[in-house]
Every structure is written in C-alpha cells, then in structure tokens.
Structure 1
C-alpha cells in the first residue's frame, strides 16, 4: 500500500477562523494526494486563496502551484496590507448581504457595484471577472470560485468595522459626496429648478444647494441625516485619506 504524503502545515492566526477547530492551534499534519498543488490543499482546508498571502515551504517563499512533498513544513501567512490589486481603476462588487457597506463606500466616492437581489454566485463571479472588480463577501464558498477576478473576505458583520477593514486593506482613493449611494452613479451639481420635480414642499422651501445623480436622476441635499453622514466621512478621511481631487459639488 502506498503511503499518502504528509506535510506539516500552520496557518497565520488571522486565517484560523476558516479551518476546522482541530487545526487551529499550531502546526498540524495534513495528508496530501501527491499531485495536488499547495493552493488546492489550502483551499480544501477551508481557506479562500483571496486571504492567503506569502506561503513558505521549509522557510523559503514558494508559489501556490508547488506540489508538496512528504515531510515539508508549510506556513501560510495572511494577505499583506495594504493589498495591491493589479490593473486600474480600483473597483468593487459587493454581494447581497453587504448593502450598508456598499452605500458607505459610495458615500466616500469609492466605485462599489451592488445588487439588492441575490443573482447567484456564478453571476456575481462572472460580473467580477467581466468588469475587473474586487468581490467583497462574507460567503467563503463564493470566494473559492475560480472565475473571480479578485476577491476579499469581509471579516466583521458590523458596518463600521467592515468599512474600516476594506479601507485599510485596499486604501482606495476617497472622493466623498461624488457618488450616488443608491445606484453608484456620479453626482453633479444641480439647481433647484433642475430637481424640483423630485422635491417635496418642505425640502424645496428649506434647501438651496443640490446635487443630482447622472445615472438615475436622484436628487441630494443636506438633509436631516447629513450630520451622521458627515461623521462617517470625516472619520474615513482622517484615518484613510488622502482624498483625490474632485470638482466641487453639493453634499448628499
């Protein structure tokens, strides 16, 4: 009987939430089939490759395509932050469960596509590849899909922490108040006359500075929630700036 090759593998602490509990403490022995790559072995243990950074074998940096041999000692580190994504511009795609995060990213001027209905994993992955968008998700299975252009796991279920996580990981250029939080379109300055058909009486009487989405036509002004939104923007710019220059426009 042929003995299956065994390797001794250890994950960085940040990655241990993905693997079975019995493999979370220190180095663990893993049976391999002698033909699968390290990348396949890592994914089979539950870790999306979007989250795996440097891999070393017996202390030497090693590509994911390496086929491990029996007795090798493998260390898998978390992705290095800030993370560089090839190509430009940096754009994102968020799954159906991340609507609040999508709106906050748009508030900061970050290009964040989002579908309010579940279009299915294959369609999301295909959209990521077609438009070269980084797919953000808390669905580990979705991040294993081969057709993804790029992806990232969102580690928290709290919108404040989610936003800080993504801004710290990818450091996108911020341009607050320049995107529609509803559809991701770009905003332009608008006169009261241009948006009057979208205003209720009290709003039309109380406000004079407006912006309008060039894609869906939605009107924006400094409304009752402006102070809360301003706080989100101020914190993000303070901790994750700088912002990119943009034409002057009214606030959402």
Structure 2
C-alpha cells in the first residue's frame, strides 16, 4: 500500500528551520501513516516550541494528530505575545546566552544561567524541576521531551535577542531589582554595609547603594551606569514596565 502523501505549508517565520524546497509555499511529503503530525514537523527540523496552530484543511488539530492521505496542513508560528505558562514567567538560559541573561536580570526578569555547560539532559531536568522556560539556540535541546517549556532564540546579537524574548513572553519589567551576576534580588544598602567592596574614589563619590541578598554583590551608579540605563530605557519604552531610576 502506498504511503500517505500530505501537503505542508510553513509560516514564513519557520522557514529558517526547514530545507529550501519547503519554503515559500506548499510542498508534498510522504509519511509512514503512523507518525503524529508533531513528529513529522520535528523531523523536518522545526522544534515544536516554535509551532503555533496546526491546521488541517483550515481546522486546528493537536500535534498528536496522525495525518491522512491528501491532507493539506498549515504550520503556523507561535503567537506573540505567547500565552504565559506561568506568571510571571521564569527562564533558564544555556551557556551560550550569558549576555542575554545579564540583560534580562538588569530588567528584573528571573533568568537563571548555566555556566559552564552542564549538558542538555541536566538543563532539561532543571527546566522541568523549576518550571522555567528554556531559552537556547540549540534545536536538539529544545526537542527534549522533559523540558517544561522552551523557546528558540533567533539572533546572535544580544540586543536583538532581548527584543525577541520581550516581544514573545511580555514579562513584567522591574529594572535594577536583580543581581546581574547571580540573579538574586537587590535591596538598598548602606555605605557601611558594602564598604569592603568599594575603592576610595567610589566611597567618596557615591552614597546610594544596593546589595544582592544572595551573593552580597554591591551595586552603585558607576561609570558604566549610562550604558546600562540606555538598555533599560529602550526596553521600558518599547515593552513597558517601571521607569529607570
């Protein structure tokens, strides 16, 4: 018996995952008649984390649907903003996204970061145990079934990566409330409490300090503050949240 032939059309946002013959319109595919639609889509290179609605003849179906002969299937990209799996969303970033993790923390987003690399299995297990959205550019990692939730980061550039995450998940922003080093929460601190971390010039020039409740790192408005403030202001202007202070 001939294997079923289906017709697939991928949303433009998903074209980077599929081979060139499957970009720009419908393409035919022979299936084994037993695999689910989710498996078929993943076998063509598209992580299910990036898939929105699956339509058969214009009708939504689950990824467990088993395609039949001659079905016309549309694979849409995930909606933006994506419906939240938890509020507020919490994230886990792999070893290649350290700069993005620091920028997310700068905005007060709970962004755990694994460095050095602990391996895909351990990352997926932590995502599940702590109910964190796994952010990665590793398609193999995003295909692991034990992930609680995941998302592909589309750019190599940290500024574009940040916009990507903010537009997709719309997390609440609370700038200057997290430690960029360890992700802990910041609290106001006296100069006396952080004096051991200050150089003479810093101690003379600044009076307002914050300190991480987890690692003890001290923060103040140093020479780098203007650059960080620009990142915060741009994010708040476009995506909302508390004003930079």
Q: TM-score range by the shorter chain?
A: over 0.9
In structure 1, the partner of 2:234 is 235
Matches within 5 A, 1:71-110: 71-110=70-109
Matches within 5 A, 1:151-230: 151-230=150-229
Q: CA deviation at 1:218?
A: 0.3
Matches within 5 A, 1:28-39: 28-39=27-38
Q: CA deviation at 1:21?
A: 1.8
Q: CA deviation at 1:243?
A: 3.4
In structure 2, the partner of 1:43 is 42
Per-residue deviation, residues 63-103 of structure 1 (Å, max 9, x unmatched): 11110001000000000110012233310001110000000
Per-residue deviation, residues 178-205 of structure 1 (Å, max 9, x unmatched): 0000000000000000001111222112
In structure 2, the partner of 1:247 is none
Distance in 1 between residues matched to 2:23 and 2:92, nearest whole Å:
30
Distance in 1 between residues matched to 2:227 and 2:115, nearest whole Å:
23
Per-residue deviation, residues 127-149 of structure 1 (Å, max 9, x unmatched): 10000000001111111010000
Distance in 2 between residues matched to 1:104 and 1:136, nearest whole Å:
14
Q: CA deviation at 1:58?
A: 1.0
- Could you say what secondary structure the match of 1:165 adopts? helix
In structure 2, the partner of 1:122 is 121
In structure 2, the partner of 1:5 is 4
After superposing on structure 2, the runs of 4+ consecutive aligned residues of structure 1 that deviate more than 3 Å are none
Per-residue deviation, residues 4-48 of structure 1 (Å, max 9, x unmatched): 111000100000110112222311111111111100100000000
The normalised TM-score by structure 2 is 0.97
- Could you say what secondary structure the match of 2:139 adopts? coil
- Which stretches in structure 1 are left out of the alignment for 5+ residues? 245-249
Say whether the 8 Å CA contact 2:166–2:239 is kept in structure 1.
yes
RMSD: 1.3
Per-residue deviation, residues 194-227 of structure 1 (Å, max 9, x unmatched): 0011112221121111000000000000011100
- Which stretches in structure 2 are left out of the alignment for 5+ residues? none
Distance in 1 between residues matched to 2:19 and 2:84, nearest whole Å:
29
Structure 1 range deviating more: 16-25 or 119-128: 16-25
In structure 2, the partner of 1:131 is 130
- Could you say what secondary structure the match of 2:49 adopts? coil
Say whether the 8 Å CA contact 2:128–2:147 is kept in structure 1.
yes
Distance in 1 between residues matched to 2:183 and 2:202, nearest whole Å:
23
